[in-house]
Amino acid sequence: MRIVFYGTPEFAATTLVKIHESGFNIVGVVTAPDKPAGRGQKLQSSAVKIAAEQLNLPIAQPSNLKSETFAQQLAEWNPSIGVVIAFRMLPEKVWNFPSLGTVNLHASLLPDYRGAAPIQHAIINGEIQTGVSTFFLKHEIDTGDIIDQGSVPITEEMNGGMLHDVLMEKGSDLMVVTLNKIAMNGAQTPTIPQINKGLSNKIAPKISREFCHLNTNQGVLEIHNKIRGLSPYPGAWIESQWGDMKIFESEIISNNESVPQGVHIYEKEFRLGLATGYLRVHSLQIPGKARMRATDFINGFSKKI
């Protein structure tokens, strides 16, 4: 098979490397254009571009996937299968160009958690299991017929970053299994249609800054899971006398009790008072400062600001 690969972040780069190491023929890699980053606003390459360069693979960085220039590039590569992971939406003429179509890797057990942020929302909603799915693209986002799935447990200590890394490795292995299956079966590769659950579908919309705001009128478990799901990025936040404070780690102290709501420092403990009890905060960040342990904040910054 001749594979064209679409992706941008580390989650996709890991699979690109795994596919290459497994001996598949990658004829081209498509990733986002370099973007200015950091204080110096120097152009920064995506994780997928960096990996592709290390593997000496052909790279395209089109700003317009519908352009004639990119269409010509696809024709030159002449792929038989497309693989897309954590990339922007592909036009139909792009994902339908390979003779065998295009396969997507999604970080959930579809049809649950369709959308841009499946990893974070699974933890935020208190799930104890999630996984990865491979499926053939079609018109509606994340709705194509499933080829393979693999599940992973969500442990109590996991945050969004930890689960991301577990699913990244699980997904790269699953994609190799999927590509081997397609290489063997071609257009007759067995698939399973997704069953629409209607109103009970669990969704994973893009996360906004306002969504990350912690509301002290909510319960302890709800806020604890939200902090876990949004850590380390983009980070849950709450208003405080030191500015909008990000909270990265918390521990449930009490539940089902009435406490004063808001941000509190009790001797050597930093607490959030919520509708049903207290959370102990273990790490945080205030504007203009690096992430720090709550104990360091109490010992230093809380007295200086």
CA dist list (Å): 250 to 117, 157, 164, 279, 303: 21, 10, 19, 6, 22
Based on the domain organization, do 192 and 272 belong to the same domain?
no
* Within-domain flag for 24: yes
In sequence order, the 6+-apart residues with CB closer than 8 A to the CB of 250 are 223, 224, 227, 228, 272, 279, 280, 281, 282
Q: Tokens 């992973």 belong to which residue?
A: 152
Based on the domain organization, do 137 and 22 belong to the same domain?
yes
Q: Which domain holds residue 106?
A: 2-200
In sequence order, the 6+-apart residues with CB closer than 8 A to the CB of 193 are 145, 146
Based on the domain organization, do 79 and 176 belong to the same domain?
yes
Question: Per-residue pLDDT for 304 more than 60?
Answer: no
pLDDT digits (tens, 9 = 90+) for 123-160: 999 999 999 999 999 988 899 999 999 999 999 999 99
Cβ burial, residue 193 (10 Å; 0-12/13-18/19+):
exposed
- pLDDT reported for residue 305: 46
Q: How confident is the model at residue 41 (pLDDT cuts 50, 70, 90)?
A: confident
pLDDT digits (tens, 9 = 90+) for 220-255: 999 999 999 999 999 999 999 999 999 999 999 999
Question: Per-residue pLDDT for 197 more than 80?
Answer: no
pTM, rounded to two decimals:
0.95
* Within-domain flag for 165: yes
* Within-domain flag for 176: yes
* Within-domain flag for 209: no
Here the CATH number for the domain that contains residue 252 is 3.10.25.10
Based on the domain organization, do 97 and 245 belong to the same domain?
no
* Within-domain flag for 159: yes
Question: Per-residue pLDDT for 286 more than 50?
Answer: yes
Distance, in Å, from the CA atom of 137 to the CA atom of 148, rounded to the nearest integer, reads: 14
pLDDT digits (tens, 9 = 90+) for 76-106: 999 999 999 999 999 999 999 999 999 999 9
Q: What's the structural domain count of the chain? A: 2
Based on the domain organization, do 167 and 58 belong to the same domain?
yes
* Within-domain flag for 233: yes
* Within-domain flag for 208: no
How far is C-alpha 84 from the geometric centre of its chain's CA atoms?
14
Amino acid at 35: K
- pLDDT reported for residue 302: 64
Distance, in Å, from the CA atom of 152 to the CA atom of 167, rounded to the nearest integer, reads: 8
Q: What is the mean pLDDT of residues 162-166?
A: 98
Based on the domain organization, do 36 and 127 belong to the same domain?
yes
* Within-domain flag for 213: no
- pLDDT reported for residue 266: 86
Q: How confident is the model at residue 38 (pLDDT cuts 50, 70, 90)?
A: confident
- pLDDT reported for residue 195: 86
Based on the domain organization, do 192 and 227 belong to the same domain?
no
